[in-house]
Amino acid sequence: MYAFVNEIETHLREKLIPFWEKLKDTEYGGYYGYMGYDLAVDTHYEKGCILNSRILWFFSNAYMLLGEEHLKDAAVHAYKFLKDYCIDYDNGGVYWSVTYDGKILDDTKHTYNQAFAIYALSSYYDAVKDEEALKTAKGLFNLIEEKCTDEYGYLEAFTRTFEPAGNDKLSENGVMADKTMNTLLHVFEAYTELYRVCHDEKVAGRLRFMLDVFKNKVYNEELGRQEVFFDSQYTPLIDLYSYGHDIETAWLLDRGLKVLGDSKYTEMFAPVTHALAENIYNHAFINGSVMNEAENGVDNTTRVWWVQAESIVGFINEAAKNPGDAEKYYKAAGDLWEYIKKYIIDKREGSEWFWSADADGNPDEKPIVEPWKCPYHNGRMCIEVIRRMKQ
């Protein structure tokens, strides 16, 4: 596995970091929001606030890992754009998107979006010790808890002034969901990072609340998977098995449990996170790669970039937890990396990863960069592998 880790570090240093640094918008701030499959950058495309938060998270963590000043500079650049243009200082919260020059474009306030800002700001605070960033993250935490929750869990979409709105941005597969596993997961992820840097017991209490929701409402113990889309009281709306989210959840819950340090919840979730990872290995890991999802029992065999990246981390996490199965899971992670190198990494100069490939390895001609296509999944995979296996 030594060569595997070295290859991933080289990929981070020589491919991912330079690619995203070159997208810095030195005129209007932030980072360009679109690169087509043809590798043409649209410098006047909208700037998604989730994309900017994820770039901020990426450079903050790359700086903490590698200690190079240009990475700090890149993080500061992303932070300044978030602070100056993405936050609504009148009504609270983070907008969905702004124009290339920072004007409000889509003023939807989505809980998912607030969560990613918390995630990024917490890491940025850890990287550069900017107290303003931590204060902003705590403010967004309080806003979510005040505006975006009910007795059952976390709500989804709102207008600019936090009136309820339709959840079209996080609903797929022909349903309109009142609540989603995806938003719950990333609020949990964000609060994990916030708690890690501030140790606020109110944050810890909400982590425990979300763990209870995962265990009692989201996790389907009979099937060993999560449900995805729900009504307002977490009744599932559709038979959907999201392979990528399950393997991502397996390691993100384990990370949250480690940061929380509550032995009761750690013991409660040991069989849950194991089952999530084991079932992905058994049902979705085919020919060295992980399929996308299964709806009504029918597999979607597309190999999506982020699913492959999260599966590497998930399998390495499972290997560390289960020494008896470590060889199996490390081999799976290595096989995934070989698949990514062959089919998902775009070998053209000036590119990054393809969005996805079909079952035969042919790339999908989707954008290389757009509001959802970011360095968060593949960059985080590289950072997690290095932290877990080299340092």
pLDDT above 80 for 1: no
pLDDT above 80 for 391: no
Q: At what angle do helices 305-321 and 376-389 cross, to 10 degrees?
A: 20
Tell me the per-residue pLDDT of 23-53, one tens digit each, with 9 for 90 and over: 999 999 999 999 999 999 999 999 999 999 9
Question: What is the predicted pLDDT for the residue at 140?
Answer: 98
- Report percent pLDDT > 70 for the chain: 99
Say which CATH number the domain at 328 has.
1.50.10.10
CA separation (Å) from 344 to 86, 238, 330, 372? 31, 30, 20, 16
Mean pLDDT of 265-281: 98
Whether residue 173 contacts residue 238, with contact meaning beta carbons closer than 8 Å, is answered with yes
The reported pTM is 0.98
Tell me the per-residue pLDDT of 60-102, one tens digit each, with 9 for 90 and over: 999 999 999 999 999 999 999 999 999 999 999 999 999 999 9
Mean pLDDT of 159-173: 96
- pLDDT band at residue 2 using 50, 70 and 90 as cut-offs: low
Tell me the per-residue pLDDT of 292-306, one tens digit each, with 9 for 90 and over: 999 999 999 999 999
pLDDT above 80 for 310: yes
pLDDT above 80 for 246: yes
- pLDDT band at residue 259 using 50, 70 and 90 as cut-offs: very high
Mean pLDDT of 162-184: 96
Residue 55 CB coordination number (10 Å):
28
| Structural domain of 382 | 2-389
Question: What is the predicted pLDDT for the residue at 390?
Answer: 87
Tell me the per-residue pLDDT of 206-230, one tens digit each, with 9 for 90 and over: 999 999 999 999 999 999 999 999 9
**Total structural domains in the chain?**
1
pLDDT above 80 for 191: yes
Whether residue 107 contacts residue 152, with contact meaning beta carbons closer than 8 Å, is answered with no
Mean pLDDT of 118-132: 98
Q: Over the chain, what is the mean pLDDT? A: 97
> What single string gives the DSSP state of each residue in 320-363?
HH-GGGHHHHHHHHHHHHHHIIIIIB--STT--B-SEE-TTSPB
Length of the chain in residues, anyone? 391
